Structure 1
Amino acid sequence: MRCPKCQHENTLEAKFCEECAATLAPTCGNCGSPVSSTAKFCSQCGHPLQPVADDTRFASPRSYTPQHLAEKILTSRAALEGERKQVTVLFADIKGSMELLADRDAEAAQTLLFDPVLERMIEAVHRYEGTVHRVLGDGIMALFGAPLAVEDHAVRACYAGLRMQETVTRYAEEVQRSQGVQVAIRVGVNSGEIVVRTIGNDLHMDYTVVGQTVHLASRMEQMAKPGSVLTTADTLRLAEGYLAMEPLGPVPVKGLANPVQIYEVTGAGAARTRLQAAAGRGLTRFVGRGVQLDQLLRAQRLAGHGRGQVVAIIGEAGVGKSRLVHEFLYSHQTADWLVLESNSASYGRATPYLPVIELLRRYFKVNVDDSTQSIREKISDRILTLDPALHVSLPPLLDLLDALDDEHPFRSLDPIYHRQYTYQAVTRLLLSETRAQPVVAVVEDLHWNDALTLGLLNELVVATQNVRLLLVVNYRPEYRDEWRDLPNYHQLRLDPLASESLADLLQALLGSNPSLTTLKSFLVERASGNPFFVEEIVRSLVDTGVLEGVRGRYGLAKPFLSFDVPPTVRSVLAARIDALPPGEKRVLEEAAVIGHDVPFTVLHAIRGLTEDRLRSLLDNLQAAEFLYATQIFPDLQYSFKHSLTHDVTYSGVLHERRRDIHARVVDAIEQLYTDRLGEQVERLAHHAMRGEKREKAVHYLWQAGGKAVARSALSDARTWFEQALGVLDALPRSRAALEQAFEIRLELRRVLRQLGEGRTMLECLREAEALAEWLEDDRRRGQVYALRTTVHSTLDELDEALVTGTRALEIAERLGDLRLRIVATSHLEQVYYYRGEYRHVFDNLAALPAGGVHEYFGMAALPSVFGRAYSIMSLAELGRFAEAAQYAAEAIQIAEPTQHVFTIGWAYFAASMLHLVKGDWAKALSQVEHWIAMLRTANVAMHLPWAVPASAWVLAQLGEAGEALNRVREGAQLLEHQAARGIVGHRGWAYGAVGRACLLLGRLDEARRLTDCSVESARRQPGSTAHALRLLGDIASHPDRFDAESAAAHYREALALAQLHGMRPLVAQCHLGLGKLYRRIGETEHARENLTTATTMYRDLEMGSWLDQGEAHMAKSGDMQPPVRSPSKSSTSGDIRSP
């Protein structure tokens, strides 16, 4: 059952419309009996039921749509059908229409009461260039912004609502006097999105509602009191400043879960232009237009000396034309000038001379509530005072301001003479004024002006050459004036703001909060230098809670994950797009589907036009500044001038048509680039996915992910692989599809590892394991077990890691799979390293067969480098430095030629650890800084939480305090971020490194806090725990925190763990710490014993820098100081024993 009010199709049993809640089963308004939807009178009581619509006057939209608008819609019908539109919907009806029919002939009532009201409703809609979608017996439904887009649809709809209330109220007063009947209407307005499906020859439009757009407009009408206009917050956001609105609070609306904030539109606001609306909120900083302002001032000086000037400011919507005029007019330079302003309206073509009338109203100081007599007096007094000879201009001027007597002969003049005298009157008035004082006259937005206004301006421009008049106009690039050959005419082109100026604007709008750095860069890129777009995007981000604070002091309240073009910006751009001829619009839409960059050959292949015709259409789009040629060789390519124009054009194309174009683009690229498909793989993946060519989409997405991995573009790779898996999920379940899904998950796992996404990686592998089980594939099960091993170890799940690694090795041995054996062994080395089983690590590597050095075997880094890395670090912990150095040289030699940052990173990480353990600080610094620079260049973040702390330690050790402190802060932040993601890995060691740096820098509180984090992070890693305990001993031994008992206990614990796991360099360090401690408290024998052990071990291990320290302390031990008592103990010598 179709709703008679909003045309929504409901189920047959529905009693109320699901969309607008209108009653579907009508009842008699007098007795309440059910009646037929076609009955004119109640069968039970004879009461009239509904107005009788005039079939000829309101039969179809064509019958009541103005001819010029009907022709425009029909001409562009093919380009308008099947598009998404941002619109404002207006419902209006006569309140109590059934009661008005009581005791009256239905047809007479229709003629005397209903038709005149409907006519006034329709007139108000058409005055603001809306479309009456349907006449509903006692009311109408109208659309603003569809089928033709307009940039201020919400403002127009509200103005139309106010006008129909005004005109109907005047008519109702007449009816009240003549008929004794009270007539009132109610109006509801709401803004949102609809999809235009088809437009018939009679202009009837089928549409699909998106969300609650129409329903809410209908509910607003039903909730409105007679004589009022109600609207919603969605409309308010678009019309803010243009209208006076009274908030009525949140109100429950039938069919919606949450209350809706509603407003009553009480009148027009103070603003008539976008700049005036912005001024109400506070204008932003004026930036980047100093040169243009100087040009205006230069023209003003010439005009002031009697050399009249005309300046046309040309620029796209939102680029700042009106703001430039505003800054000029309100500068001190115009203090002694008569300033006359007029603003055009987007619907102004329907009203002849609208800008001229506004200019004259300001000149004569005519107010809205002035009587006709008052207007006549103001005009007569001023012009006769200025120049009595102007009395001949009175009739045209009075006529323009609607103050001329209806019977005056001027009103019956032939249109040609009427126009001529009007032009002369306005021109004479302004020229006469220039003899009294210099005049600057401003007429904005010529692209919206009516023909009569433009003709008058042509007359005025010719007359300005030798008078003190500066005429300033502005318009958009699609408009062309006729004054280019005049010597006193100047064009002032406003290009988009340069990036530096846009950055200044963003600084003024947002402030300097560090959290906004990425957002600012995004806005500079997306807004394409348009200040209006920037301001509206920022407003939208504030409204949606992404930004919090006040202008100039905003902060990021939540992650900035996605971006929707604000409705205000979308409306401006959509109106420009809809103004294109159908041929150009179709080309622009297909270009938008191809992408921001548009190869001519691809567009030609899918468009089906001759090359000459397509080039002609593209030339027109370039002239209108939608596209521009960005490349000529080797292939011609166009690009969208603005990213937002591309976004709005693309979003306006319906899904079905988009899908078809995307699919055709895939076919075109495959045919055009047969020998170079690898270059086009990302584009093919994009279009195949959106064209729903699913098998091809999987293929190209997978390839694109692999290509991104090779470039170390890890986030891109992740996106490609995840999209491929999403497409696979939509395919029928088959063995081939499941095998693809398995392999892609393994590729994704490599990327997630490099991104440090441990938990996500584990989930990915569990999904792969389920696929291997379904496929009953032992080799794949082994692969998953091997890969799970490294994930579990990274997450500090070392027991699980040992189980999965062992299972993987068992499967490899059973299948004789060398590849799987290498991968499983490599990951088990990591597990053994974390468990402190350093000898086992090295033995595992030594047991592997030679060969396959340069093969990845599905790992994120070369196994040959990954395995050597853990052997290097293990040998260093064992004190086998020469062997570790040999493996380090091999690892770097293997890794460097790959140019694969993750692989190279492992080689440098291990080499750095070798030098750190040994105490070769200069070598360590060289390795670490090279490692960090490489990671930052390639944007590989996973190793930074280890590299930066290592750098902090080395720099502090070498006395570079300032740089060391910077690295300490960065390293601590990186580790906190890593901890939040649940990744452990080397985190315990890294916290110890920044803790060590803090100790060397004398920041003892930070050192203790970070070392506690190290102990907590390394609970299951005895080697890292031992290092952290030794550091706690060093902190407790510091003169400013001296606690002998605590220091000795920490050294003993560290020493016990180091001895248990064969960590000879750390054993020596613990003896050095104990020796220094005993020397400080005066226990000479214990001091010498530990220092002797330390120096002997340093000598054996060839740890030169540490040997120097040990020998220095040995030398001092011969001259012992008196015992130093622990602050917390009366005596400590008896409590401390040498191990």
Structure 2
Amino acid sequence: MEAEDFSDLLSHLRRAYEDIIPRHGGTIVQIRGDGLLASFGYPETHEDDGRRATEAALDLHDFVRRIPLDLSPRTLPPLHLHTGVHSGLVLLADGDDLHGRLDLLGNTVNVAARLSDVAQSDEILVSEETLGAESHFYETTPRRSLSLQGIIQPIAVYGILGRAAVGTRFEARSMRGLTSFIGRQTELQALKGSLYDIIKGQPQYVAIVAPAGMGKTRLVEEFLRDSANSDCRILRGYCESYLSAEPLQPFLQILRLLLGLDYGMTAARAAKVLERTLAEINPDLLKYRFEFLRTLSLDPVNGQLESRNISLENTIAAICKLFDALVISKPVVLFIDDWQWADVASRQVLEAIRRGDNRTLFVLVASRELGDGNVAIGGANILTLAPFSADEAEEIIRQLLPGSNPFTVTRIRELSGGNPLFIEELCHSVAHDSPDHNRIGRIHGGEAWLEKLIESRVERLKPEQIDLVRTAAVIGNVIPTWLLERLTGCGESHPLIATLAAQDLIFPGEQSGTLRFKHGIARDVIYDSVGLRQRNALHKCIADTLREHGPAGAQEEAWELLAYHYGACGKVVEAAQYAEAAGDKAAGASALDRAQIQYGAALSALDPDSSQENYERWISIAQRLALACVFDPSRDQLEFLQRAVVLATAHHDQRALARAEYWVGYINYALGELAYATRHLETALAQATAVGDEPLAVQIRAVLGQACAAAAEYDKSLVLLDEAISIKRQFRKRGRLPVALAYSLACKATVLGDRGLFEQAHACLDEALAAVHDSGHEVEASILCWKSAVSLWQGRWEDARAAAIKGQHIAERVRSLYLYAMNLSLGGYASWMTQRSQKSLQAIVDATSWLENRNRGLFVSLNHGWLADSLVESERWQQARHHAARALLRSRRHDRLGEAMAYRAMARASAAGHNRKSPEVYLALAMKNALARGARHEIAVTQLCDAQIRLACGERAHVAELLDQAESLFEAMGMTWHIEATRDLRRRSR
């Protein structure tokens, strides 16, 4: 193009930018050449800013496609834009000639720019977190993940193809799929009662009032479904805050649908349809046909329906007459959603309708708030919606995240504050982004649109309310009232606190003298909106106030808070001091997850290279961290322990090196990495012996015995365990819980139990449990776990189930996912053996997935063996093969306890024609594993399985011999259930 033509084109394009962007509520930040940077959400925040930006992009793309490029003597191909839209937090600064009207800093701008670069010709790429569920307002490409240059995490995006035929936010969000209708039965019955009243000729006016996301529309949808079956006429409309919302929006929607008019109709066609419809309703309405035409904005010049000024007085009269006519034929339910955004004209129309003599009219509106003249619903019966109860919230979470563990469920419930929308979005985010459902901290990718919803609520507050709620957010989710009052002058009874409660932000906490945020998500979003320097200053002020003015006798309770606030403001020495103290306190209370977090924070804050004192302290904390991980191990903690090895080596500290190697070995054992565990433990034992640290050497030999027991190296294991048990019995200290002795006894019991020495095994378990009886310590859950396993091997199903249930309760209290999952699996298999319920089987599947998602493999071969066995019995052959293969893979990593069961399952599947190899091959492999372990119960069960298969295949040879051998072993081991199974098979074989 010639320069002058190109300049004209750019001017044309810039005028379009300047027209379209503000029309959707955006701000032009910078125009450079033909490129545009625009922001939505400043200076005024809207919950639908992501949608506004997307709408603006669609309009701009459409405009550019239609720019004529007829430049003689040739016509150029049409122009196309390419656009990226992303949402998130930015730092705003005043702009200049170089940076534009505003200077936007932060990763959000970089992501948007990269998306624009990646977008193809005429493509609009919008990140998933920008739109969330509102992506259903558009026709989109499938969700895909993009790795962008300079951006660490992949970004989930949609390509926007055009607008979808979706009218309301509820419709858009429901396209994701509605959960079952949960709770709200009292409110639903109240609505049904009002419906019954109008049928009897008593007009009703009800306003459902609750904050965003509380399920107002979902409740009404459930009610209207019943109303439609009651021979009522249902009329519905909704209000919008969007800039394009027209006056009388809800009533225009109702009229167009009721009267059969569309935007695209010509004047003549609209008039005919209108007259016919009015005549069908009531011929007396025909005299108002011109009022309806004007109300519906029929433009007589171009013959199209479009917006224009209307006479409100005539409109009110016409609509009132229409409703008068409608209620004569049948009861009418008029529902208007999002009434908080209703314009003045709509309020006047509704008031006029209500003043009419319409005895069978039910007016129902849903609104977010009352007061300050925002909503004209005086005289309505107010129906408020409370957050979901804990049980209701957990029911929804389990629907949306099937198989989620209880710790994840609790965390989502706490973050959501019982808000149904927040629950759904957190669940969808976890399902998309985190196979490890246990790690939910602050909200993350997928919910920026939800942050906008919260930000828009906060920005509507008065300045003094905003300052107060931001200070509260920096304090934390739970806010001591004395602390807030000292910082802000606002106590629990202050009017500003009451206004924040009315805004559904802060309300009295469960403990006396505290406030808390209604929703953990809201607290996180408000916290992020506080500037860095202001935030750091507040953290320091809070920490100093807690330390200097905290209530007498409550210093220990404040340790976690002090560690958090000093760490947040960069005071690392103080942060480490209080985090260490908080970790010790949590470990003493068996709050394993809290102890791990606090010890990790202390280690991160300390610099072990700065001084010998800091080094020794760092090593000491690392050892306590390891102790907190034993019953709930995590690979994340291994990094600290491996660094302890490096530090001890660098300081030539042989004692610390021996201890660090010991803990690395111990955690690897707890994670099921038995080969690594043995290697590190043997290294640690050699070093401890070299430096003469006999107490440590005893501990190492004990754990080495435990690791050998887990790897089914029983002869070596018993020697080491017996030595450790003898020494620990000899030096047992009065008043101190003998955790190490009890656990060593439990490990010895598993060896004895696997060898079929059940009487001796139960004696060890009884001694172990007596040593820690009702202590609530995590080791008790671990011992109960093994008591259940030994009972399963012996066929004592009810005893196994009872022990597992008790262990599960303790594991839940100390928040050990590993112990919880293993006890759940043990109890599940025991229940399966007595009830054959699919629910029991699903419990094992869920627990196994929790463990494997977190790379926790200790004894997981048992889980897969149980599943393979159960699934073969259920004739689910493919799934059975999968779990058998998983058991065999674990066996290669020295976890051999589930191997024989997996091979027996494959033998039965083969006998049913569902494996390539013969049953004899699998039975031989099962027997090989049982003999290698010296597992007499496995030998006998394999013989019984062999007899069952032979008999089912019609091969009676050797059946009697196999049954004799199996029964003899079962009797020697006291396996009553198996004895009866053997005798029953013998009777059937005759």
TM-score between the two structures when normalised by the length of structure 2: 0.71
User: 2:462 pairs with 573, 581, 589, which one?
Assistant: 581
Deviation at residue 147 of structure 1 after TM alignment: 3.3
User: 1:359 pairs with 247, 254, 272, which one?
Assistant: 254
Contact 2:237–2:254, Cα closer than 8 Å, also in 1: yes
Question: 617-626 or 900-909, which moves further after superposition?
Answer: 900-909
Match of 1:618 in 2: 497
Match of 1:696 in 2: 574
Question: 788-797 or 945-954, which moves further after superposition?
Answer: 945-954
Match of 2:587 in 1: 709
The residue identity in structure 1 corresponding to 2:648 is: A
**Distance (Å, rounded) in 2 between the aligned partners of 1:363 and 1:475:** 24
Match of 1:749 in 2: 626
Match of 2:104 in 1: 207
Q: Secondary structure at the match of 1:146?
A: coil
Deviation at residue 672 of structure 1 after TM alignment: 1.4
Question: In the alignment, is residue 98 of structure 1 matched against residue 7 of structure 2?
Answer: yes
Match of 1:490 in 2: 381
**Distance (Å, rounded) in 1 between the aligned partners of 2:223 and 2:565:** 49
Q: Secondary structure at the match of 1:318?
A: coil
**Distance (Å, rounded) in 1 between the aligned partners of 2:262 and 2:45:** 33
Deviation at residue 723 of structure 1 after TM alignment: 3.1
**Aligned CA distance change for structure 1 residues 1010 and 517 (closer, same or farther; 3 Å):** farther
Match of 1:1133 in 2: none
Contact 2:861–2:887, Cα closer than 8 Å, also in 1: no
Contact 1:349–1:449, Cα closer than 8 Å, also in 2: no
Deviation at residue 195 of structure 1 after TM alignment: 0.7
**Aligned CA distance change for structure 1 residues 930 and 598 (closer, same or farther; 3 Å):** closer
Deviation at residue 298 of structure 1 after TM alignment: 3.8
Deviation at residue 277 of structure 1 after TM alignment: 2.3
Match of 1:476 in 2: 368
**Distance (Å, rounded) in 1 between the aligned partners of 2:332 and 2:920:** 74
Deviation at residue 621 of structure 1 after TM alignment: 0.9
Contact 1:188–1:231, Cα closer than 8 Å, also in 2: yes
Alignment of structure 1 residues 785-934 onto 2, 5 Å = 795=674, 801=681, 804-812=684-692, 820=696, 823=699, 836=715, 853-854=733-734, 862=739, 895-896=772-773, 900-902=777-779, 932=807
The residue identity in structure 2 corresponding to 1:475 is: S
Which ranges of structure 1 fall in alignment gaps of 5 or more residues? 1-28, 32-46, 48-95, 102-109, 547-555, 1019-1023, 1044-1075, 1082-1090, 1095-1103, 1110-1139
**Aligned CA distance change for structure 1 residues 700 and 132 (closer, same or farther; 3 Å):** same
User: 1:672 pairs with 538, 543, 550, which one?
Assistant: 550
User: 1:663 pairs with 521, 540, 552, which one?
Assistant: 540
Deviation sequence 1:145-201 (CA, Å, 0-9, x none): 23322122233234345556789999x89x99xxx9999895845232241424689
Deviation at residue 476 of structure 1 after TM alignment: 0.6
Q: Secondary structure at the match of 1:716?
A: helix
User: 1:276 pairs with 150, 171, 176, which one?
Assistant: 171
Contact 2:537–2:569, Cα closer than 8 Å, also in 1: yes
Match of 2:876 in 1: none
**Aligned CA distance change for structure 1 residues 153 and 1006 (closer, same or farther; 3 Å):** farther
User: 2:206 pairs with 287, 290, 311, which one?
Assistant: 311
Deviation at residue 828 of structure 1 after TM alignment: 7.7
Match of 1:242 in 2: 137
**Distance (Å, rounded) in 1 between the aligned partners of 2:50 and 2:426:** 18
Deviation sequence 1:985-1037 (CA, Å, 0-9, x none): 996689899999999xxx9x999989967976x9xxxxx95733796489669
Contact 2:140–2:158, Cα closer than 8 Å, also in 1: no
**Aligned CA distance change for structure 1 residues 430 and 693 (closer, same or farther; 3 Å):** same
User: 2:611 pairs with 734, 737, 749, which one?
Assistant: 734
Match of 1:51 in 2: none
Match of 1:26 in 2: none
**Distance (Å, rounded) in 2 between the aligned partners of 1:336 and 1:944:** 53
**Distance (Å, rounded) in 1 between the aligned partners of 2:487 and 2:803:** 53
Deviation at residue 676 of structure 1 after TM alignment: 1.9
Deviation at residue 1038 of structure 1 after TM alignment: 9.6
Alignment of structure 1 residues 289-688 onto 2, 5 Å = 289-304=184-199, 306-331=201-226, 333=228, 337-347=232-242, 351-372=246-267, 374-375=269-270, 386=282, 391=287, 394=290, 398=294, 401=297, 403=299, 419-431=312-324, 433-434=326-327, 438-461=331-354, 463-478=355-370, 486=379, 489-498=380-389, 514=403, 523-524=412-413, 526-540=415-429, 544=432, 564=444, 566-607=447-488, 609=489, 611=491, 615-631=494-510, 633=512, 635=513, 637-670=514-547, 671-673=549-551, 675-688=553-566
Deviation at residue 273 of structure 1 after TM alignment: 0.7
Match of 1:1068 in 2: none
Match of 1:43 in 2: none
Deviation at residue 705 of structure 1 after TM alignment: 2.4
Deviation at residue 597 of structure 1 after TM alignment: 1.7
Deviation sequence 1:117-147 (CA, Å, 0-9, x none): 72x6545444433334456687864322233
**Aligned CA distance change for structure 1 residues 986 and 579 (closer, same or farther; 3 Å):** same
**Distance (Å, rounded) in 1 between the aligned partners of 2:337 and 2:580:** 54
**Aligned CA distance change for structure 1 residues 775 and 460 (closer, same or farther; 3 Å):** same
**Distance (Å, rounded) in 2 between the aligned partners of 1:260 and 1:928:** 45
**Distance (Å, rounded) in 2 between the aligned partners of 1:458 and 1:295:** 23
Contact 2:394–2:409, Cα closer than 8 Å, also in 1: yes
**Aligned CA distance change for structure 1 residues 798 and 651 (closer, same or farther; 3 Å):** closer
**Distance (Å, rounded) in 1 between the aligned partners of 2:449 and 2:439:** 20
**Aligned CA distance change for structure 1 residues 846 and 326 (closer, same or farther; 3 Å):** closer
Match of 2:40 in 1: 144
Match of 2:653 in 1: 777
The residue identity in structure 2 corresponding to 1:153 is: D
**Distance (Å, rounded) in 2 between the aligned partners of 1:318 and 1:618:** 22
**Aligned CA distance change for structure 1 residues 336 and 471 (closer, same or farther; 3 Å):** same
**Aligned CA distance change for structure 1 residues 805 and 972 (closer, same or farther; 3 Å):** closer
Q: Secondary structure at the match of 2:934?
A: helix
Contact 1:342–1:358, Cα closer than 8 Å, also in 2: yes
**Aligned CA distance change for structure 1 residues 361 and 808 (closer, same or farther; 3 Å):** same
Identity %: 20
Deviation at residue 624 of structure 1 after TM alignment: 1.5
Deviation at residue 698 of structure 1 after TM alignment: 1.8
Question: 278-287 or 935-944, which moves further after superposition?
Answer: 935-944
Count of aligned positions: 897
Question: 367-376 or 211-220, which moves further after superposition?
Answer: 211-220
Contact 1:870–1:910, Cα closer than 8 Å, also in 2: no
The residue identity in structure 1 corresponding to 2:341 is: W
**Distance (Å, rounded) in 1 between the aligned partners of 2:332 and 2:827:** 69
**Aligned CA distance change for structure 1 residues 945 and 420 (closer, same or farther; 3 Å):** closer
Deviation at residue 508 of structure 1 after TM alignment: 6.3
Contact 1:189–1:230, Cα closer than 8 Å, also in 2: yes
Deviation sequence 1:700-738 (CA, Å, 0-9, x none): 222232223223233332333233323335x76332332
**Distance (Å, rounded) in 2 between the aligned partners of 1:940 and 1:309:** 53
TM-score between the two structures when normalised by the length of structure 1: 0.63
RMSD of the alignment, in Å? 6.4
**Distance (Å, rounded) in 1 between the aligned partners of 2:636 and 2:111:** 42
Q: Secondary structure at the match of 1:755?
A: coil
Deviation at residue 742 of structure 1 after TM alignment: 0.8
